A and B are shown apart, each in its own frame.
Chain A
Amino acid sequence: AQTVTQSQPEMSVQEAETVTLSCTYDTSENNYYLFWYKQPPSRQMILVIRQEAYKQQNATENRFSVNFQKAAKSFSLKISDSQLGDTAMYFCAFRTQGGSEKLVFGKGTKLTVNP
């Protein structure tokens, strides 16, 4: 069974600084997809960034980037130039390429951006 581990229950960062959220996963699959979702107090889960396991290049979306280490099964999220609106729960999620069409989530990291 696939598992996703986020070892940092809470983190804080000063506005405009950079923060990295950690995520590790366990799977025997070779092809899969990884995602970071953001859940602000409004409750809606918002897709931040995605990574396809067969792509070696790390994904980047504006201020958000990932460090994907397939051999280490690590998928960290870096937020640059943190903004107050980045305050939210962040969930790392895993999805296999086929068969079981579900997301497996980590427990989440609560990120607070301080002014």
Chain B
Amino acid sequence: KAGVTQTPRYLIKTRGQQVTLSCSPISGHRSVSWYQQTPGQGLQFLFEYFSETQRNKGNFPGRFSGRQFSNSRSEMNVSTLELGDSALYLCASSLAVPRDGYTFGSGTRLTVV
């Protein structure tokens, strides 16, 4: 079966712009989570959606937002981009059963210049 699909793979934006990243989970997975990965901070949790509702949010500013659609696809939006937002953004989907862990996509590499 198809894995977690993230688009685009690479993105270059300038400071002050906004960006939207997309994630399509594995079919049947209703939980979608987003993580930011940087060399300095490692992997940090952004937020998690389940059945179109945000269930949990990490410690990120309000410029970071997301949503989930009825087909479980999710989007993440970052407004007023800053240089420090340059990172690999990973999406992961799950059956929402803790023991199953998450299945990750290949990520979107965002570079802010």
| A interface residue numbers (CB < 8 A to B) | 32-33, 35, 37, 42-47, 50, 52, 91, 93, 95-98, 100-108
B101 touches A43 (CB 8 A): no
- Give the interface centre of B43, B104, B107 by most chain A CB atoms within 10 Å: B43
A102 to B48, Cβ gap below 8 A?
yes
- Count contacts on B: residues with CB < 8 A to the other chain: 27
Is there contact, CB below 8 Å, between A101 and B96? Answer: yes
Q: Chain B interface (Cβ within 8 Å of chain A)?
A: 31, 33, 35, 42-43, 45, 48, 50, 55-56, 58, 88, 90, 92, 94, 96, 98-107, 109
When A and B form their complex, what is the total count of cross-chain residue pairs whose Cβ atoms lie within 8 Å? 63
A33 touches B98 (CB 8 A): yes
Please measure, in the bound complex, the distance between the C-alpha atom of A100 and the C-alpha atom of B59, giving whole angstroms. Answer: 13
Distance A86 CA – B18 CA, assembled complex (angstroms): 37
Known contacts A47-B103, A50-B99, A108-B42: A100-B56 contact under CB 8 Å: yes
Contacts of B90 in A (CB 8 A): 45
Which of A43, A52, A91, A106 interacts with B107 by CB under 8 Å?
A: A43
Question: For the complex, what is the distance from the CA of A75 to the CA of B69, rounded to whole Å?
Answer: 37
Q: Is the CB of A97 within 8 A of B101?
A: no
17 cross-chain CB contacts under 8 A: A33-B98, A33-B99, A35-B101, A43-B88, A43-B109, A44-B107, A45-B102, A47-B102, A47-B103, A50-B100, A50-B101, A98-B98, A101-B94, A102-B56, A103-B43, A103-B45, A105-B42
